Amino acid sequence: MEQRTELNALGEFALIKHLTQYFIPQHESTIKGIGDDAAIVSSDGVHDQVVTTDLLIEGVHFDLMYTPLKHLGYKAVAVNVSDICAMNARPKYITVSFAVSNRFSLEAMEELYSGMQLACEKYGVDLIGGDTSSAPSGLMISITAIGEVLPEKVVTRDGAKLNDLIVVSGDLGGAYLGLQVLEREKEVYKSTPSIQPDLSGFDYLLQRQLKPEARMDVLQFLSDLKIQPTAMIDVSDGLSSDLMHIAKQSMLGCDIYENKIPLAPDTIRVAADFGLDPLTCALNGGEDYELLFTITQTDYEKIKGSPHFSIIGHMTEESTGCRLITKSNEAFNLQAQGWQAFKE
């Protein structure tokens, strides 16, 4: 009998590993392939190139009931730029491919592309190609981004050293709560279409969910402070899951402290409305697109007064695992509950 294994038996990362295990790089110029925010290839010249790609599917990654197409276009570009930034690289080019059903009009696609254009201008990237197809239903968008970086400046997930400080930009958990607000209003609308959605007072969280920014500015702050991170990742799946990528790939553990995790006042307020713990939103929520990185202890003085960053913990021995230290000094193991591609 032919064997049949369900995709969700593996989980996203194990699946990718399984399918690509026999692909051995054949070029010396492939410096880093699968396994980081972007691949690194050398171009024989001064810079290395970094390449990343993302696929967005209607009904899985976005819901057009509450996502304006212009915002979707902007976000689709921003999340790719974010992966380029996570390599400490400068984004330069994107390609955009989409498959679309006849449910969408020219005007709708113009809206989508106007958002993409806005992001291209904001991040200084050129749209250089793509592919276009019809689809039996819905909308799918795939974007590839290419950036460049000096080889000595590139930052991967595996470079953290014992006792390095763990730093994150901005604040966390907001995008997840923005999504909860939108989902709540959607349910209200579905049961009583005559009621107008009430989204007032949620501006910050909605912006975090609908119009996230890639933190290119953070790379500039770091360069101004003369800090070269030892490892870096963008927070797309939640602090726990993304920090565990750095720890695992650097073969270390980590301790982060509950009272150091940056939470916006709106995040704390609205989490309470939903009966959620804002810390859990930060740890497991995802889509914040902040940069999470490690620096050597000697860089502490340079970064400690900066309003852009929070020092949330440090790297430990691998044997102690990845832990959250609570306000009452209890230690809990972090869990990678981030976004799962094949959840049931």
Considering only residues 217 through 246, tell me which ones interact with ligand ADP, judged by CB under 6 A. 236
Which of 50/166 has CB closer to ligand ADP?
50
Q: Which of 14, 18, 29, 34 binds ligand ADP (CB under 6 A)?
A: 34
255 is a site residue for Mg ion (CB under 5 A): no
**Pick 25 or 197: Cβ nearer ligand ADP:** 25
Which of Mg ion, ligand ADP, none sits in contact with 36, Cβ below 5 to 8 A by type? Answer: ligand ADP
Instruction: Indicate the helix (H) or strand (E) that contains 96.
Output: strand 90-100
Contact present, 252 and 315 (Cβ < 8 Å): yes
Choose which of 10, 11, 31, 35 interacts with ligand ADP (CB under 6 A).
35
Residue-wise burial string across 206-238, b where 16 or more C-beta atoms lie within 10 A, e elsewhere: bebbbbbbbbbebbebbeebebbbbbbbbbbbb
User: Which stretch in 18-26, 67-75, 141-149, 234-242 sits in contact with Mg ion by CB under 5 A?
Assistant: 234-242
Closest distance of CB 37 from ligand ADP, Å = 4
Q: What is the DSSP string of 180-207?
A: HHHHHHHHHHHH-TTSPP--TT-HHHHH
∠ Cα 174 176 181 (to 5°): 90
Select the span of 35-43, 70-78, 174-182, 300-308 touching ligand ADP (CB under 6 A).
35-43
Which of 70, 76, 78, 83 contacts ligand ADP by CB under 6 A? 83
**Sheet harboring 39-42: ordered strands across?**
30-32, 39-42, 48-57, 139-149, 90-100, 126-134
Rounded CA gap, 64 and 73, in Å?
A: 12
114 binding ligand ADP? (CB under 6 A): no
Which residues lie near ligand ADP (CB under 6 A)?
16, 20, 34-37, 54, 83, 236
Which residues lie near Mg ion (CB under 5 A)?
37, 83, 234, 236
